[in-house]
Structure 1
């Protein structure tokens, strides 16, 4: 067929050379676009029209330029535009503008041509050109320029064209939803694209997802035939607002309208059900997809990982491999998340080798996830090697490395990474600041903490409720409750997390009564305590020895159904009773727990510690097996039991505990203190008599130790 067309054009070229007309040239150029050898034939026609003098006709030159533009030869199109069209008309300008903007939505040259044409008298842009110009201004976030074009379309009388209005809806939705809504209300002819643009725009904002759902309902009621894109947009709104019942209704709508043929719709349903913790429904949708793509597998895999169904996620990945579906970067990121959950360093290395085989080692998302997985598995050297080998690092990469060092108990290295980041063009965001603040909290150094606070202020992040809460927590861990309170008072919009943090700060620093008083202030502000708030209050009572207040608080918050009790609350109450010497009451509370709640190692450990302090060996013998069963590799249980037996002079049992720990290769972690000297953190381990500090400082410490012994003797 193409050979036939080529021969036909050859004959027409010969006829054109003898007595062709301008209309024939235009038709021939259009025909050439259907041929694989379109460029060669177009050049032949170009040569012929030059010989015959047809290029003097503006219509022919415009067609020639349009031919080159649609063939991808923008350079030749520009040559025709600049040198072959002396009298450019609106078609000439529209063709060259469209050619540039269609090729690149952010083309500055295309906008330059548009502005030149707009300044010329008589220029009438077509709808296609205006749509592309508005899309370009949206991409460049040029709000005022876009509004100017809108005003010009109103003056030109073409602002009511639906395709143009839809582009303006998308433009305004990027900046001010109210303007988009005003335009939407003014539209007389709304098609499915108009409604979809509005639903998608509102679905992007968590606070406006209910508006998106209402708009979709109105769209259906108005008789507009929904398509897959509109359904995907409203399902996204349901996912964000966790509106699973609405999602189920839309699922029924999809089935009734036979919209499930578009694989993006069931993929969105899987995402919705997964985020609403309805994994059975998610599995059902997944199984019903006739032709699953890699997005279908990845979406369901992500849902299993998010819902901590790790074994099922591994099984799914195995099925994915057997089905012959190639894993992409999203698959690998999910697998790395599994490695973090299992804390499996070997699996992290295997995934790393898969990344190298698949050629994803330069993918920023994959590399950041790999650094995070290695750090979470305490392979900080591997994480650092990956970080060091990167040529380009974004804010996520820097933040992940800072978080990795902090997780591995290396705050000095984390802070050093942040300092290195400050010498680059990459600016720290809120997540970077949170990781830096966590590192400063771990180091417990006030000088560093103040510097981090100053950086947050300069970056304009200190007033953010999340960052402000982290600063508050950082100061409390440095022992500066006064600074914590000042930061708390400066946070403009406090939430329940902020109140819980300041309550925990007072409790941690030995002010339990002040912590309890804050509960009344919190309730006066109209906020209800949550589980973390209750835990912070009970912990404050436990460490402050406020037994009666703690029991009363527990009854107030738990029995009055203000907070749903969980194991941590009961463990904290057991710890409160045990610390106060009420071992019988603590044991009775453990026995009264219903079957769904089994005391953890912390509760039994608190009871065992109390038995040692108050020489209650009978209950201690009951608590010991529970601690060793729940934490067989932890040293605390063995040491507590050994000390308890030693205080009762049961030396054989005390020795037996030490031997059991040794036979089980249980690593005893010694307590330590941090002292900053010459800008460096120096760690003092319990029982360590040799340190790298100077002899003078060693002598000073020994003197202080002697004075302390003298005070005790007195």
Structure 2
């Protein structure tokens, strides 16, 4: 008969080897079965090296077994062992019981680097970044030396918290140690800097002796996100010259995004060739990125060809090409693809339905909108925010605002997009008061407005005849800190300009912090609209001094300002100078504006030649007709030619008919007057009377052409009489 001690010793050796082997191969159920068999055989667990694999098995399979093992450790009196305590801490951390981890950590007599690493990583992995950083600082104070994985986590935490200063401290620590040469840590730092201070990222990138594909990709992506697409593409070109760096799909996707954002079709095509040459054409993610690039670069045919040649298409591929066609207003082609998608048994998802709604908005068909709504309900997409907001917008565009409002009222938790969409819907339907009411409800709900909300509200307020409401919106923009935003500020100054308050427009313009080409163009247009053309020209000089180049819109605004101000020579000179010195190809709008400039100044022969030479559109011939009104003694053949051109190009616009009728009446050609009025009647042209607005004491007074029965207050009559007397004065 064998001695019990000998039996225990041999048995223990057997269990040790079996548990270690099962653990090594990841067979966690076998680990726990062996542990249970060992307990049943009466063999006590005293081997420290076994606690870790058994606790790992408990983490994978049974939390209850792990707690039981912790109790066993306490009974055996081995809880003071740092390695065993670390294993138990790791078990509780993986189970998400950080309170137990912290308690155990606090009771440890001796903590090593592993103890601190488990605690710090545990806090961070479970999203408690503040405690994770605090634990890291405590550990460093005790002389703790972190490992690579912990440092990566801490750097990621600095990035998540936006803690640039703390991240720089870690960078300093790495420089003092051997960690500074480790690529994973360098890449983590690079990513942190790229999101918070790109100039530091570029400096670190320049100092890196061995850059891997991750480093290159991080820098390209960072420049794309900060709208410095030219720098992103320069870095990509630099990669291509580095033969030792193997480019991956993610890097190419970032480069394609740079082409998409900058609408750089030439480089995008080159990248397409590179993808094909490298054999990446089977990658559906890259294929989808190419479709997006071609679509946003206004080349839908290449997008469609890329989609057709894709060997494997998923739902994202279908949605990408349909979205691209909708973006390029190829609505019929998009509908055809949606039919093909159904034939291919590819079920539409939320994005597909949003695309369908975008198509519906184009055709403004209420029936189709309701049909799509029914599909949304059948497929349980009514809780998808993007779908619901697009549906509200589509109903508004189909003039079914009451249904849009019902949908909005059904939304239980509204975000900024929902509120903005409803405000925009009421604005589109001309229900200004309703739009402002929804905005007030939004403010009462403590939802902070964003730039889009304010832009929708500004548009709504611009339809009101009372300047008090736009001023209130301006006040809201100031209080929420958006008045200095380039987009919002530009919209506000434009509203004041339309009300004739050019002084306030200029004040708003001056308050914009980062003025861009749009801001300058809008202010130049405001000056032109309000008869201050020389101020518009001065602002052009200021804009060029600040380093901004005029674009086609700026040139159009300047020409319009010169036209309304009678600055013929200056307008022609500016047009010649800007179109010759800049890469701006004049459009029909520019030539129409030139025709208007010449017509207003009486240079009708030159204006006619220009309209004919460049096949000016309705606006050009309309400008000529206005010029003839001011000089109605001109040749009648010219008048007839201009009238015929205007009515042929815009047969449903009442302005041309009314202008022609007035012209013939001035010349006493009553037969032609009767003919024009007969055309209006036969073609069922809706006559829209022109009007003028005068701003007095924050009230905009509207005067409609031909209405002789308008109510005028005594104050208003006096104002008009004063204006008449002022205009008669010899200045």
Q: TM-score range by the shorter chain?
A: 0.7 to 0.9
Q: 1:23 aligns with which of 49, 62, 72?
A: 49
CA deviation digits over 1:207-252, x for unaligned, max 9?
A: 3642563266247615122222222223323333444444444434
| CA–CA distance in structure 1, aligned partners of residues 143 and 581 of structure 2 | 77
| CA–CA distance in structure 2, aligned partners of residues 214 and 507 of structure 1 | 43
Unaligned stretches of 5+ residues in structure 2: 1-21
Alignment of 1:2-17 (within 5 A): 6=29, 9-16=32-39, 17=42
Q: Indicate whether 1:194 and 2:215 are aligned.
A: yes
Describe the shift of the 1:374–1:661 C-alpha distance in structure 2 as closer, same or farther (beyond 3 A).
farther
Describe the shift of the 1:653–1:262 C-alpha distance in structure 2 as closer, same or farther (beyond 3 A).
same
CA deviation digits over 1:408-444, x for unaligned, max 9?
A: 4455554555455444544444444444444454446
Describe the shift of the 1:259–1:639 C-alpha distance in structure 2 as closer, same or farther (beyond 3 A).
same
Look up the match of 2:169. 148
Describe the shift of the 1:116–1:505 C-alpha distance in structure 2 as closer, same or farther (beyond 3 A).
closer
Q: Indicate whether 1:530 and 2:551 are aligned.
A: yes
CA deviation digits over 1:293-349, x for unaligned, max 9?
A: 333233333333333333333333333333333444443444444444445555444
Q: Indicate whether 1:74 and 2:97 are aligned.
A: yes
Q: Indicate whether 1:510 and 2:531 are aligned.
A: yes
TM-score under structure 2 length normalisation: 0.79
Higher mean C-alpha deviation, range 88-97 or range 549-558: 549-558
Q: 1:63 aligns with which of 83, 87, 90?
A: 87
Look up the match of 2:274. 253
Q: SS of the counterpart of 1:315?
A: helix
Describe the shift of the 1:673–1:551 C-alpha distance in structure 2 as closer, same or farther (beyond 3 A).
closer
Q: SS of the counterpart of 1:510?
A: coil
Describe the shift of the 1:683–1:372 C-alpha distance in structure 2 as closer, same or farther (beyond 3 A).
farther
User: How far does residue 193 in structure 1 lie from its aligned partner after superposition?
Assistant: 2.4
Superposed CA RMSD: 4.6
Describe the shift of the 1:568–1:78 C-alpha distance in structure 2 as closer, same or farther (beyond 3 A).
same
Look up the match of 2:655. 636
Look up the match of 2:10. none
| CA–CA distance in structure 2, aligned partners of residues 257 and 707 of structure 1 | 78
Look up the match of 2:122. 99
Look up the match of 1:204. 225
Q: Indicate whether 1:160 and 2:168 are aligned.
A: no
Describe the shift of the 1:629–1:59 C-alpha distance in structure 2 as closer, same or farther (beyond 3 A).
same
Alignment of 1:353-392 (within 5 A): 353-392=374-413
Query: Are the aligned partners of 2:465 and 2:701 in contact in 1 as well (CA < 8 Å)?
Result: no
Q: SS of the counterpart of 1:59?
A: helix
| CA–CA distance in structure 2, aligned partners of residues 126 and 534 of structure 1 | 60
CA deviation digits over 1:371-409, x for unaligned, max 9?
A: 444445555444444444444444444444444444444
User: How far does residue 627 in structure 1 lie from its aligned partner after superposition?
Assistant: 4.3
Alignment of 1:571-590 (within 5 A): 571-576=592-597, 578=599, 586-590=607-611
Q: SS of the counterpart of 1:224?
A: coil
Q: SS of the counterpart of 1:125?
A: coil
Look up the match of 1:667. 686
Look up the match of 2:154. 133
| CA–CA distance in structure 1, aligned partners of residues 690 and 551 of structure 2 | 33
Look up the match of 1:228. 249
Q: SS of the counterpart of 1:158?
A: helix
User: How far does residue 141 in structure 1 lie from its aligned partner after superposition?
Assistant: 1.2
Q: SS of the counterpart of 1:144?
A: helix
Higher mean C-alpha deviation, range 15-24 or range 674-683: 674-683
Q: Indicate whether 1:282 and 2:307 are aligned.
A: no
Query: Are the aligned partners of 2:618 and 2:649 in contact in 1 as well (CA < 8 Å)?
Result: yes
| CA–CA distance in structure 1, aligned partners of residues 695 and 348 of structure 2 | 49
User: How far does residue 168 in structure 1 lie from its aligned partner after superposition?
Assistant: 1.9
| CA–CA distance in structure 2, aligned partners of residues 232 and 611 of structure 1 | 57
User: How far does residue 478 in structure 1 lie from its aligned partner after superposition?
Assistant: 1.9
Query: Are the aligned partners of 1:471 and 1:487 in contact in 2 as well (CA < 8 Å)?
Result: yes
Alignment of 1:473-488 (within 5 A): 473-488=494-509
User: How far does residue 508 in structure 1 lie from its aligned partner after superposition?
Assistant: 2.0
User: How far does residue 701 in structure 1 lie from its aligned partner after superposition?
Assistant: 6.8
Describe the shift of the 1:178–1:375 C-alpha distance in structure 2 as closer, same or farther (beyond 3 A).
same
Higher mean C-alpha deviation, range 529-538 or range 417-426: 417-426
Q: SS of the counterpart of 1:668?
A: coil
* Residue-pair matches, total: 699
Describe the shift of the 1:68–1:461 C-alpha distance in structure 2 as closer, same or farther (beyond 3 A).
closer
Describe the shift of the 1:178–1:219 C-alpha distance in structure 2 as closer, same or farther (beyond 3 A).
farther
Alignment of 1:491-502 (within 5 A): 495-502=516-523
| CA–CA distance in structure 2, aligned partners of residues 342 and 208 of structure 1 | 35
| CA–CA distance in structure 2, aligned partners of residues 31 and 562 of structure 1 | 69
User: How far does residue 139 in structure 1 lie from its aligned partner after superposition?
Assistant: 0.8
Alignment of 1:421-440 (within 5 A): 421-440=442-461
Describe the shift of the 1:690–1:42 C-alpha distance in structure 2 as closer, same or farther (beyond 3 A).
farther
CA deviation digits over 1:136-160, x for unaligned, max 9?
A: 2211212223333444455565343
Q: SS of the counterpart of 1:206?
A: coil
